[in-house]
Every structure is written in C-alpha cells, then in structure tokens.
Amino acid sequence: MLILKPREEGSRLMLWLSPFFAVFVMWVFGGVMFWVLGLPVLEGLGVFFLDPLLSLRGWSELLLKAIPLALCGLGLSFGFRAGIWNIGAEGQLLMGALGGSVVALYFYEVEGFWVLVLVLLGGVLGGMLWGLIPALLKTWSGASEILTSLMLTYVAGLFLSAMVHGPLRDPDGYNFPESRLFSDSSLVPILWEGTRLHWGFVVMLVLAFLLWLVMSRHRLGYWMNVCGGSSRAALYAGVDPKKMVVISFLISGGFAGLAGAFEVSGSLGQLVPVVSPGYGFTGIIVAFLGGLHPLGVVVGSLVLSLTYIGGENAQIAMNMPSAVTGVFQGALLLFLLACRTLESYRLVWRR
Amino acid sequence: MMDSTVLSLRGLSKSYGAKRACWKVDMDLKKGCIHGLLGENGAGKSTLVKMMGGVVRPDEGEIAWEGESVKIRSPLEGRRLGIGMVFQHFSLFDALTVSENVVLGLPPDWHEGEVDEEIKRVSEIYGLEVDPKKDVYSLTVGERQRVEIVRCLLQNPKLLIMDEPTSVLTPQEADRLIEVLVRLAGEGCGILYISHRLAEVEEMCDEATIMRHGEVVARVVPKEEKAVLMASKMMGGSYEKRTREGLVKWDVGSDVVLSMEGVNCDLRPEYGVRLRDVHMEVRSGEIVGIAGLAGNGQDLLGSVLSGEVLLEEGGLIKFFGEEVGGIGVVGRRRMGMGYIPEDRQGHSALLNFDLVGNGVLGSDSYEGLWRGSWLQKDKARDFAEGIVKEYDVRCPGVDHQASSLSGGNLQKFVMGRVLKQRPKLVIAMQPTWGLDVGAASLIHGYLIDLAREGCGIILVSQELDELMTLTHRLGVLSEGCMSKFYPTGEIKEEEVGLLMGGLDKDFAEEVKLC
C-alpha cells in the first residue's frame, strides 16, 4: 500500500518539481480525454501543445498572451503569500481596461508619449480602486474577500458593457458596441516588428523583477510572509493585518488593472465588450503554478498562454469545443494542488 | 496472578519517520490496580496510550486483552472491549449540553432520557458532581474532566486510562480525583495513570513503569522507591533538582521597571476571559511569578503586557514610569521589553520559515537587520548564526526550517533572539512548557542570569515547582483577576492552590469587588 508520510521539513526539490509533475499529469489526462472522446490522441495533443511552438507567429502570440496572465499572476501571488485571497483579478482587469480606455479616448486628439503613460496609469488606478472595495469591506466589516472580490467581477463586467454600449461607443461606429480606435499616441509600441507583440512584455519582466526584490528583501514582503505563516506571529511582529489586506489588494488590483490597460492599448487598440477571455481567473492558476514566486509566475504564464493558443488551434484544426481550454486549465490547477502534497509529504511503500 | 491481568503488551513499537516513539514496550495492567506510567515529555507515554486505545496502530508487537490476543483498530473497538480513556485535551463539544456530549460517545442504543438518569446515578455514586443539562462551554476545566470520566464510567470499563489528568486541575480538585480513582480500583477496575508528577504517583499507584526515549527503563513499586530515585530514572540518571536554597541570592533593585494599575480588558470571545482590575509591579532584577491554571486570562495578560493588544478600557501600564498602554508591540520592544509567548509554533516562531527568517521576527530593537525598509540578508544571517552559537541551539543549520528543530532547541532560539536585544524586562509565558528537563533547566538558567544582571522578569507558569523555585514574589491569576503578590518564601503550595481555585477568603472578597 502506498502511504503518505509527513516530512519534517518542506522539500525544496519538490517545490521545484511539482509544477512539472502537474503539467505532465495534465498531458496524460488530456490524452485520456481525447481517447474517450474518440479523437486521435497524439495528434490532438500535438495540435494543442506543439503546433503553436513551431512557428514564429505562434511564439509571438504566446508571449503576447503571457503579458496579462503574468501581470495578474504576479499581483495575486503577493497577496496569496499573506493568505489574502483576491479572486476578482478579472474584474480589476476589466476596470483597468475601462480606466485606460477613458484616458485614451479623452486624449484622443492629443499627441505625445505621456498620453500612453497616462493611459497605463489610468488602468492601474481603475484596478486599484476596484480592488479597494473588497479590501475595505473586509477591514470594516470582516466580509470574506473571496466572495466579495469574486462577485464584483460580474459587476465590473456589466459596468464595462454598459459603458461600451453607452457613453464610450464610437459615434461613427454604426451602433456597434465598440469604442473608437485609439489614436497612435495611446497605443503601446510594437516590440517585435511584423507581429502583435508589444513593449508590455518588457514592462512585465521589469515589474516581475521589482516584485521579486520587494518580496525577498523589503519589509513589506517579509510582513506578507509572516501574515501568511500565522496571524498570531503577525501580531507578534507588530504587523497590522488590516493594512496588509489593503496593500495586497492595491498591488494585485493595480497589476490586474495594468494588464487590462495593456489589452486595450496593446492587442485590441480599442475598448470592446469582451476584453479578456478570463485572464484574471487564469492568473490564479498562473500564480500557483509559479509557486507564488515572480520568476515562476513568468514561466507559468507561458504555460497557461499555451493552453489558450492551443485551444484556438484545436478549435480550428480539429473542431474541438472551446471549452477544452478551460478543461485543461482547471485540470492543471487540480493536479498542481495534488502534486504539491509531495512538498510536505513523502510517498512510502508499506506492506 | 495471570488471571487478574486485564491488558498486556508485548514488544509494542511505533516509529514516526526516523523517530522512535515507542520501542519494544512490555507492560501488564491488572484488575483493581492503579498502575503509574512515568516519563518526561516526549518519552513516548502518549503514543503508548494511543496504541492501547486504538487511536494509533502499532508498527510491531502484540496486545492481549484478558489473555486473548487482540487488534484494536479504532477507539470504538477499544471502548467495546472495555477500555475507557480520558485524554489531556478533552474531546467535548462546547455548544452541546453535558448529556448530549455523553450520548455522542456511547453506542447508538442509548437514549438521551436514560442517559440523564445514568449520569446522575454514576455521578452520585462517585461524588463526581455533573449537571447533565448544562452547556459544556459554561463548565470549568475540572467539571469538563468529570464529564469525560462519567462518560467512560457509563460503559462499565474494565480499564480506565487517564492521560495527565491533574495537569489541568487545582491541587484540591486533584485530590478529589485521586479519591475517585482509588475507589474505582477498589471495585476492580484497572487504572493506568499517566503523569510526570512524582508525588502523585508515589501517593496512589500500586506499581509504576518508567519510560525514557520510548523505552521502558524501570518497573517499580512507588511506595517502596524513593522519589528522587524514580526521578533520576526518568531523566536518565543526571537529575539534579534546582532548589531555592541552591540559588545564589541576588539583590533586587529599587527601580520599578514595570507597573500595572487597574488594568481592565475585555476582548471576548477572541480571548475567553477578561482581565479585571489587574495590579502588578516588577522591580529591576526581580522575578515575579504568576501562577494559575490555563485559561484564566494568561493569554490576554501576555498580549496586554507585550502590546499586542492596546489598552482601551482604562488602567495604566508604566515602563520605567512612562505610560505605554497605547504603544504597540514594536514600540515597546524598542523601549526594552522582551516578550516570549507560550506558543512557539506560530506565535514566537514560524515553523515553515528558516532560522534566518525566524531570527528577524520581532527583532525590532536589534540594530542593523534593516537598512531603511530593506532587509540586510547578511546581517540577518549573522544574527541567526550568533543565536545558534551563543545559546547552544542544536540544528542542522540556519537555512533549515524551524520545524526541523526540537521544541527545546526552538525555545532556546526564541529566548536567544529576545536576549540578544538586551531587554530591561522579559515577559515569559510558560517558557518551559513541553520541554525536557535539560532544556527547561537551561531556560531557567538564562532567566536567572538575566535577573542577576538587573533585568525585570515576569514569569507566567502553570508549574508551581518552577515558580516556587525561581521567583521572588508570586501572585495568582484566576478568572482574569490577579491576587495579591506574596513573597515566595512565605506562601505554601497549598495556599497557592486555594488561590487558583479562587477559594481563599480574602481573595474571594477581592473577586467580588472587581
């Protein structure tokens, strides 16, 4: 019989290996799923996970989609370390997209590099303000941030939709629910000529590095870890848990908002009713896949980005339903959580 | 003799990972006999008992019940055989009444109505007063224990196992319990009595087994064996009791380091007990002891003293004459107050942090760990390594998690971390709780050295021995009220026991006043 024995100390090796195990198990699971559905197993997996990597265009799209995923995952990993569960990054991303769009449309006819900076800051601010709501509800009345942040996502989605159908609609757009196309000064410059990959990727990498510095060296990062370890230890260290809730929501909201602003001013070039295919939710998986470590989150964002692109490929090439992407993502999170058991337990064979 | 044996163990072993909790233990428990099981914390007593009760399965060895080999796979099977167990930590539901709790532990053919009757009958026979209609949360610790015992007795056990039953009782309550046990034994019930208090075992046990490091090191008849000898067997031969007389006396200074005046604090339900009109004074070089059973407000007292909880309801806390009631834990630490909370696992230390990270925790008054808001990793590392070296912390290295340290070594680390900040006052909450005698003695030594250098010390403890040996003055915290402080040499253990139960006459009046 296989049994789990607790380790005396968490295994650092397993901390590194468990995401790889999880990805591997996800593949096996996917293969079985294709087989049950009567699809060719190897071809299916190939279309999903290999084809996007065989062309330069595929790579550029992979990196492009990794930008919002990584930004959401980075912000979330900060609060998750403290045991503060912001599930509403999707809503904060949408409000960031809205905030960025409002700035971009307001300065429609103005030129200059600072316009783009303002657009991005507008996005950050939008996400922060939306994140502040569950944080304040939590600190004032103790309302569970998991529920409020999740529910506010739907409010944000409907609010954005109302704006696109109403005040922000393109006056010359034949009543389509879309904003005007942003002027050039509000668009993020292209990083890789001939593709859609923009400078947001570099910004994301810089932010990941800064976040790593804060997490590993700054008092704020230390406090977050202490809070995540135990609330009584936080009390002992003199950390104000309410302040931590607010700070972590401001950070994760700001990161998600920036991701939203990059979507509208980078890949889309205008505000549309559907800005994100659930980047904010997938960001949760990214954060955990990356072990709540900034470097890991960046790598994890590439893996999840691949599931999005692979999903699109599979729809086109093999007529698979679009839900397959979600199935892979959900399975990955489950397998990841299961594999992480190995960090604190070892498998032992006992008769 | 053989026919009177209820339970016998042969070669029982159990390991957790590489650690041997029990190793080839043999034991025979007889009808009508109170059998003591002695050993330090971590000697394997609890593991052994859990194997008897079916809570833990042995790796090897045999258990025989009335001569027949059995496998006890669950507590239910244990109960069916006739084994009743009362654990150190009670297994009662606070929100249910006494009889509801009792029904839960009984086979399904019992009904609540008859249970009430039975509870009354049994409690009358043995003098275990219990009201079946009362809610459990309103009961004192002693009453809860009675509920557990009554629950066991309803099933007519042939063997009753008591795990450190008196550690949560006042001396008076303990005496009553012992009477009940003696009576039960007289009726033919076998009793296994686990304790690390020698005096009790000596008084009531017919025979005793002494364990050390998971192995049986001696079988004795306590009434014929000297307590000191049993102690040295428990400790592995090197037992030398620190006595009050053996301490080199030092002078208590005249400066008042800390004073509390009329402190009130009510944070229920977060803290179970509220503090009522607490007064206290500590001078430099003085060790002030606070006795009391767990759950009488010690938690909150520690939080209020350390600054984890700020004073809002009146009263004064002064540190060298300066009012500090509104200053937080970090501020007070920088002023020179050191705080050692009771819980090492998640309060004074974080098990999943390495020692470097644990060294930084609460080291606000140690210079150089932070430059602005940025952690100086090299300095933090040196600091942790310094603690490990100076305070004899046995560990695989400062990069390892605190969970890899034994309780004693972790406490030495915490202690070292506080002392390296050169405090002028140390608040130590149960600093030797759960430690083996060697580590406890070391911790006591640190406290004594500290006091000798002029530091004021508040020692909150449930161990009367510890307080009687180390302190200059002694007070008792009961239901959130602080008694008067008495010079330790002038108060007897029994008197402290009375105070713990709130039974002393003028103390009772004090309670009424506040």
Q: What is the pLDDT of residues B31-88, one digit of tens each?
A: 999 999 988 766 788 889 889 988 888 989 999 998 899 998 888 888 888 998 887 6
Pairing of strands B159-163, B83-86: parallel
A291 in helix, strand or coil? coil
Residue B510 pLDDT exceeds 70: no
Verify whether the Cβ–Cβ distance B347 to A232 is below 8 Å.
yes
Selected residue with higher pLDDT from A312 and B233: A312
Q: Decide if B161 contacts B83 (C-beta within 8 A).
A: yes
Q: Does B346 touch chain A (CB under 8 A)?
A: yes
Which range is least confidently modeled, A241-245, A343-347, B118-122, B169-173? B169-173
- Of B456, B510, B463, B458, nearest in space to B483 by CA: B510
Has residue A349 been placed in a domain?
Answer: no
CA A104 – CA A321 distance, rounded (Å) = 36
* Test the A interface: residue of B57, B308, B383 with most A CBs within 10 Å: B308
Is 0.90 exceeded by the ipTM? no
Q: Phi and psi (nearest 5°) for B324?
A: -125, 5
Give B386's contacts (C-beta < 8 A, 6+ positions apart): B420
Selected residue with higher pLDDT from B428 and A340: B428
- pLDDT-based confidence at residue A14 (cuts at 50, 70, 90): confident
Q: CA B327, B330, B335, B341: dihedral to nearest 10 degrees? A: 100
CB nearest A9 (choices: B329, B361, B403): B403
Has residue A268 been placed in a domain?
Answer: yes
- Within 10 Å of residue B28's Cβ, how many Cβ atoms? 20
Q: Does A67 touch chain B (CB under 8 A)?
A: no
CA B280 – CA A291 distance, rounded (Å) = 49
List the domain range (segments joined by +) for residue A290. 62-319
CA B22 – CA B13 distance, rounded (Å) = 5
- pLDDT-based confidence at residue B505 (cuts at 50, 70, 90): very low
Verify whether the Cβ–Cβ distance B373 to A232 is below 8 Å.
no
Q: Does A83 touch chain B (CB under 8 A)?
A: no
Residue B396 pLDDT exceeds 80: yes
Q: In which element (H, E) is residue A31 found?
A: helix A12-36
How far from chain centre, in Å, is Cα A113? 27
Q: Decide if A224 contacts A215 (C-beta within 8 A).
A: yes
pLDDT in tens, B15-29: 876 677 888 999 999
CA B162 – CA B308 distance, rounded (Å) = 37
Model pLDDT, residue B513: 47
**Residue A123 belongs to domain with CATH number:** 1.10.3470
Has residue A181 been placed in a domain?
Answer: yes
Strands (E), chain A: 2-6, 345-349
Has residue A23 been placed in a domain?
Answer: no
B506 in helix, strand or coil? helix
Selected residue with higher pLDDT from B293 and B237: B293
The CATH architecture of the domain made up of B241-336+423-514 is 3-Layer(aba) Sandwich (3.40)
Q: Decide if B151 contacts B105 (C-beta within 8 A).
A: yes
Q: Does B329 touch chain A (CB under 8 A)?
A: yes
> B52-63 b/e with 16+ CB inside 10 Å = b?
bbbbbebbebeb
Q: Decide if A178 contacts A272 (C-beta within 8 A).
A: yes
Contacts of A6 in chain B (CB under 8 A): 17
Number of domain units in chain A: 1
Model pLDDT, residue B242: 67
**Residue B358, both tokens:** 């644990």
Contacts of A242 in chain B (CB under 8 A): none
Model pLDDT, residue B3: 59
pLDDT in tens, B339-367: 999 988 889 999 989 999 999 999 988 98
Residue B63 distance to chain A (closest CA, Å): 20
Q: Phi and psi (nearest 5°) for B508?
A: -55, -40
Transcribe A115-184 into DSSP letters: HHHHHHHHHHHHHHHHHHHHHHHHHHH---HHHHHHHHHHHHHHHHHHHHHTTTS-TTSTT-S--PPPPG
- pLDDT-based confidence at residue B239 (cuts at 50, 70, 90): low
CA B310 – CA B331 distance, rounded (Å) = 12
Verify whether the Cβ–Cβ distance B346 to A232 is below 8 Å.
yes
Residue bearing tokens 């087989």: A35
CA A227 – CA A80 distance, rounded (Å) = 10
Please name the amino acid found at residue B378.
Answer: D
Selected residue with higher pLDDT from B171 and B373: B373
CA B139 – CA B129 distance, rounded (Å) = 12
Residue B245 pLDDT exceeds 90: no
Q: Rounded to two decimals, what is the model's pTM?
A: 0.78
Give ∠ CA B433-B434-B438 in degrees, rounded to 5: 95
**% chain B with pLDDT above 70:** 92
Model pLDDT, residue B222: 85
Q: Phi and psi (nearest 5°) for B295?
A: 85, 20
On whether the B2-235 domain is CATH 3.40.228.10, my answer is no
- pLDDT-based confidence at residue B105 (cuts at 50, 70, 90): confident
Selected residue with higher pLDDT from B434 and A13: A13
Has residue A247 been placed in a domain?
Answer: yes
Residue B512 pLDDT exceeds 50: no
Model pLDDT, residue B340: 96
Residue A201 pLDDT exceeds 60: yes
- pLDDT-based confidence at residue A53 (cuts at 50, 70, 90): very high
Selected residue with higher pLDDT from B498 and B381: B381
Domains B2-235 and B241-336+423-514 share a fold: yes
> Region B314-329: what's the mean pLDDT?
93
Domain spans, chain B? 2-235, 241-336+423-514, 351-422
